[in-house]
């Protein structure tokens, strides 16, 4: 990570895990474990029903709360959906958009673009996910695929808004598999992401964007991944469900930031 231009972020993605009561217990315990020095930003992206418990538990701490998706629409007859404005009002700072698990459930680049616009309009910080399948990596089309995903999601977003977007590179073959990308593999794609942003927005804007790596990051591999110049933090699935494991990653990011 380049500490001169960006602040590290460690964001947990709980997926469909933990109840509101478990959330309360987790946040209370995790808060007490955190190092005093605030060398990296921390977020927990929790299931929607856990947001009130997480926000309440994280009050007066450095833990920010996020959601895992939002509606593409501002309001209206969309049964079961939750708008970005509702998430913001409930106390969220972040929202994950375009996670591969949601793309696999039918979310398209067009949906993701619409969600990004409404998230930005509502003052949320989107964590925009992109990443290739194992087949795409095998075929050698990782970079053009990521370029396409980024261009589709970010179409028409002005530079001042782009600075508030976090991009997460999450190779699908590394998510929940224990098969982490090597630091070189992850850095190569994160550097490509920054190059795509630089081409479209210029060097000053591109160097301000926080780029995360996600895919089986844990306390053993975090330090090496976070030592790469274009990896500014992590989006953490499995390891974020255990406060001790998440703390190890926060500590790795905090050391890197020294």
Give me the half-sphere count of Cα atoms (radius 13 Å) on the Cβ side of residue 235. 37
Task: Respond yes or no: is residue 113 known to be catalytic.
Answer: no
Task: Respond yes or no: is residue 256 known to be catalytic.
Answer: no
The secondary structure of residue 220, as a DSSP letter, is T
Which CB, 42 or 235, lies closer to ligand PEP?
A: 235
Of 175, 88, 164, the C-alpha closest to 131 is 175
For the bound state, the minimum distance from the C-beta of residue 175 to ligand PEP, rounded and expressed in Å, comes to 4
**With contact defined as beta carbons under 8 Å apart, do 47 and 82 qualify?**
no
For the bound state, the minimum distance from the C-beta of residue 44 to ligand PEP, rounded and expressed in Å, comes to 13
Q: Tell me which of 107, 170, 251, 256 is the catalytic residue.
A: 170
CA distance 74 to 178: 37
For the bound state, the minimum distance from the C-beta of residue 96 to ligand PEP, rounded and expressed in Å, comes to 8
For the bound state, the minimum distance from the C-beta of residue 182 to ligand PEP, rounded and expressed in Å, comes to 15
Paired sense of beta strands 94-97 and 233-236, if any: unpaired
CA distance 51 to 56: 8
Of 57, 46, 42, the C-alpha closest to 16 is 46
Which positions touch ligand PEP (CB under 6 A)?
13, 170, 175-176, 214-217, 235-239
Q: Max CA-CA distance within the chain?
A: 49
**With contact defined as beta carbons under 8 Å apart, do 48 and 82 qualify?**
yes
Which positions are catalytic? 99, 170
């Amino acid at each position: 990570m380049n500490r001169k231009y960006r602040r590290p972020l460690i964001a947990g993605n709980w997926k469909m895990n933990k109840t509101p009561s478990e959330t309360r217990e987790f946040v209370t315990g995790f808060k007490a474990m955190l190092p005093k020095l605030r060398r990296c930003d921390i977020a927990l992206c929790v299931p929607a029903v856990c947001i009130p418990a997480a926000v309440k538990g994280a009050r007066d701490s450095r833990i920010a709360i996020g959601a895992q998706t939002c509606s593409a629409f501002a309001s209206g007859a969309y049964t079961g959906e939750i708008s970005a404005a509702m998430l913001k009002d409930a106390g969220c700072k972040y929202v994950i958009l375009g996670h591969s698990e949601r793309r696999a459930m039918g979310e398209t680049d067009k949906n993701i673009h619409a969600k990004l616009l409404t998230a930005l309009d509502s003052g949320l910080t989107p964590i925009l996910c992109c990443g290739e399948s194992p087949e795409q990596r095998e075929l050698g089309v990782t970079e053009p695929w990521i370029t396409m995903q980024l261009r589709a999601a970010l179409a028409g977003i002005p530079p001042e808004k782009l600075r508030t977007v976090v991009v997460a590179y999450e190779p699908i073959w590394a998510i929940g598999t224990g098969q982490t990308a090597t630091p070189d593999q992850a850095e190569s794609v994160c550097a490509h992401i920054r190059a795509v942003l630089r081409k479209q927005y210029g060097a000053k804007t591109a160097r301000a964007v926080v780029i995360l790596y996600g895919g089986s990051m844990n306390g053993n591999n975090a330090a090496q991944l976070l030592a790469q110049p274009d990896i500014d933090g992590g989006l953490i699935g499995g390891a974020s469900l255990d406060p001790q494991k998440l703390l190890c990653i926060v500590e790795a990011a905090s050391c890197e930031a020294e």
